[in-house]
Chains A and B, each alone.
Chain A
C-alpha cells in the first residue's frame, strides 16, 4: 500500500508541476525492447522456452524544469530472457524519483544511484544488459557549501530484482578540492575524499550475536601535476559475518581494499600503472544473501576487451582476496614518420596479472596469527594474466587495419568457482585482424578474423565476421564461431549468427538469428553465466 501511495505522489507531482507551470518543462526518455525466441538445440545444449518468445522492455521518462526533475522507469519482463534471473518477473514501475537543486543543495527522494569514491564501500548502479540494478529507494542530499567542497548523505534500501533489502543503508561522503576550496592557483591539484557507509539489519539469529550495524570507511587522494596523475583509495569494512550462518562459515573478520594508480601522459603518449589488493571486501545489503545483494564495487584490474575471442575467458574480481597489477601504454607514432606513415599509427599495450593473497583471505584466517603481506606476487596462485598488444593503422583513405596479439592465462577453477583441480589454468594465444574497406561514400565492408589456440578448457576457437554498413541507416553482419579444438569431438561446433539493423536518428532496430555459446558474459566489470541459446532476436532502442 505504501508503495502505491508513493507512486501516486510521484506521478501527481509530475502531473501537477507540468500543468501548473504552463508546460514550460521538458519531457524526455528512452525505450528499450529486447525480444528473443528460444529453440531447442541439443548439440549446443540450448533449451526451448515454453513461452516461445521472451521479452525484457524498459521505458524511462524524465521531466525537467530548471532545477527540478522527476521521472520513472517502467520495466516489463514477460517473461524475462533466459540469461536473466527468474526473479525478474512481471511488470512494474521500479524506479521513480523527484529531485531539485537550490542554492547548492540538491534533494532527491525516491530512487537514486550513488557511488562513494571508486565504489569500494558503496555503489548502486544499473546495467540493463546484465540484469544488474541495485537502485536505492530513500532520500539523498548533496550540498556544496562553497566552491570545491562537496558533501553528500543518503539513506535507503537497496533493490534486488523486484524487492528491497531488509538492511537499511546509510552513507555519507565529503570531497574537498583543495585548490578550489582554498582558492589558490597551483600547478599541483589535490583532491581528498572520505566516505562512510553503514548497514543496519536486526539480529534474529538465536545462536549468534550478530552485529546489527556494520560500517565501512574509505579514504581517497588524487594528486595531479601537469601530465602526472596519482589516485589512491583505501577502504575497510568492519565485522560482517556473512555466509551460511554456521560456526564454520561465519566469522567476524574485517575486510580491506587498497587501490593505487599512477599515470603520466603527454601529446601522443600515455602510460598508467595500477595495483590493487582486496581482502574479504564483499559488502551486501543483507547478511547471508547471495551476490545479487552486493552493494559495493571492486573494479576488475584487467582490460575490458571487446573482440569476442579476447573476451572469451574474462577475469572477475575475487572479493575474498586477490592482488593485482596492471600497466597500459598508449602511443601514437607521428604522421609522416617512417613507421607512422601518412596518417600515424596507434599502439596500445596492456599487461595485467591477478594472483591470490599471501596468507589467504582474512575470512579464512580469523585469528591474530593472520598477518598477510601487503604485496604478494611471486609464489602465489595465479588467477589471471593477460598480455596484449593492439596496433591500429589507417593505410589510405579506404583501408583501416587493426591487429591484436595476446597471451592469456585463465584459472578456470577459481574464476568460475569450480572445485580446485577440475580444469586448472587454461593458457591461450590469440591473434586478431580487423580490416575495413570503404567501397564508396557511406558504404563500408569490415572483416574480422580471430584465432584462439588454447591448451585446456574448451580448446581452440576460430572466428570470422563480415559486416557491411551503409551510413547512416543500415548494417548487415554474419559471423561464425567455430570450436574446432574442443576435446570432445561432438562439441566441435559452429555458432553462426546473422544480424541486420536499421538506424534512423534516435531509433535503432535490429534483428538477428543464430546460436550463442554458454559462457561468462561480462559488461562493465560485472560478469554472469549465460546459457547457450538458439533463436531469433529483436531489439528496438529509441529515445526522445
Chain B
C-alpha cells in the first residue's frame, strides 16, 4: 500500500517539476522587531532585487556574512538598488538578544523573527546561513547554503545580473 502512495506522490511531483516553473515566496507570517506581524509575501523593493538571509545570533558564519555585507551595503544599494532582509531563526532562548545585537552591529537591513521555524521549513532551510536572491517579480532566482569568506562576491555578481 505504502509503495502505491509513494508512487502517486512521485508522479505528481515529477510531472509538476518537469514543467519549468518559477519559485515564489510561501505565504508565511514572521514577526517584526516592534512586536507586529507581516506576511513574507508582502516584502517590497520597487522591483529591485531582494536578498533574504536566514541567520541566528548563535551562528558565527551567519553573523560573518551579514557583517561583511553591512560594510559594503551602501555601495551595493547605490549600484543595484538591492534590499537585504535578515530572518532570525533565534528561538525564545536568544530571540530577545536580536534587537540589541542588530542595533549594536549597525545593520541597516530589514530584520524579522521566525522563532519556531515556520518560514524556515516552508523555504526548505535546514541549516543556517542560507541565502536567497529574489528578482524584480519576487521570484527566487538563486540560493546558497553556508558562508565562507568571499561568498559575498558571488552574491554581488548574481545581484548585478538581475539588477535593472
Give A residues with C-beta under 8 Å from B: 4, 7-8, 11-12, 14-15, 18-19, 23, 25-30, 32, 60-62, 64, 66-67, 69, 72, 74, 93, 101, 113-115, 117-119, 123, 125-126, 128, 148, 150, 177, 180, 189, 191, 222, 224, 227, 229, 231, 261, 263-272, 274, 297, 299-301, 303-306, 328, 330-332, 343, 346, 436, 438, 441-444, 446, 469, 471-472, 475, 503, 505-508, 524-525, 541, 543-544
Contact = CB atoms under 8 A, between A and B. Distances in A.
Contacts of A117: 92
A472 B150 contact: yes
B5 A541 contact: no
Interface in B105-164: 105-106, 115-118, 121-127, 142-146, 148-151, 153-154
A125 B117 contact: yes
Interface string B84-97: 00000001111011
B99 interface: yes
A346 B118 contact: no
B103 A69 contact: no
Given A123-B116, A125-B116, A306 B60 contact: yes
Interface of B: 1-2, 5-6, 8-9, 11-13, 15-17, 19, 21-24, 26-27, 34-37, 57-60, 67, 71, 91-94, 96-97, 99-106, 115-118, 121-127, 142-146, 148-151, 153-154
B103 A267 contact: yes
Given A12-B8, A69-B27, A525-B91, A189 B148 contact: no
B145 A508 contact: yes
Contact of A227 (B37, B58, B103, B154): B103
A443 B150 CA distance: 7
Given A19-B12, A270-B100, 19 more contacts: A7-B5, A11-B5, A11-B12, A18-B16, A26-B21, A113-B117, A115-B115, A189-B34, A231-B96, A261-B96, A272-B97, A442-B153, A446-B149, A469-B150, A475-B148, A503-B145, A506-B143, A543-B125, A543-B143
Nearest to A446: B149
B92 A442 contact: no
Given A265-B104, A330-B104, A525-B93, A27 B13 contact: yes
A530 to B, nearest CB: 18
A270 B103 contact: yes
Q: What DSSP secondary structure best describes chain A's contact surface?
A: strand
Contacts of A114: 116
A29 B106 CA distance: 34
Contacts of A7: 5
Contacts of B92: 115, 117-119, 297, 299
6 contacts: A4-B2, A18-B12, A26-B24, A29-B124, A224-B34, A303-B58
Contacts of A505: 142-144
Given A4-B1, A28-B23, A472-B151, A544 B12 contact: no
A31 B150 CA distance: 26
- Identify the interface centre among B19, B35, B94: most chain A CB within 10 Å of its CB: B35
B3 to A, nearest CB: 11
Contacts of B116: 113-115, 123, 125
Given A125-B117, A265-B104, A505-B142, A62 B26 contact: yes
Nearest to B150: A471
A7 B6 CA distance: 10
A61 B13 contact: yes
Nearest to A467: B148
- Identify the interface centre among A19, A23, A271, A475: most chain B CB within 10 Å of its CB: A23
Nearest to A227: B103
Nearest to A305: B58
B126 A30 contact: yes
B4 to A, nearest CB: 9
Contacts of A26: 21-24
A15 B12 contact: yes
A477 to B, nearest CB: 11
B161 to A, nearest CB: 14
Contacts of A471: 148-151, 153-154
A266 B150 contact: no
Nearest to B60: A306
Given A7-B5, A506-B143, A541-B145, A229 B126 contact: no
A304 B150 contact: no
Contacts of A441: 150, 153
Contact of A23 (B16, B118, B123, B154): B16
B150 A330 contact: no
B74 to A, nearest CB: 13
Contact of B124 (A60, A272, A436): A60
Contacts of B102: 265, 270
A60 to B, nearest CB: 6
A117 B91 CA distance: 11
Contacts of A12: 8
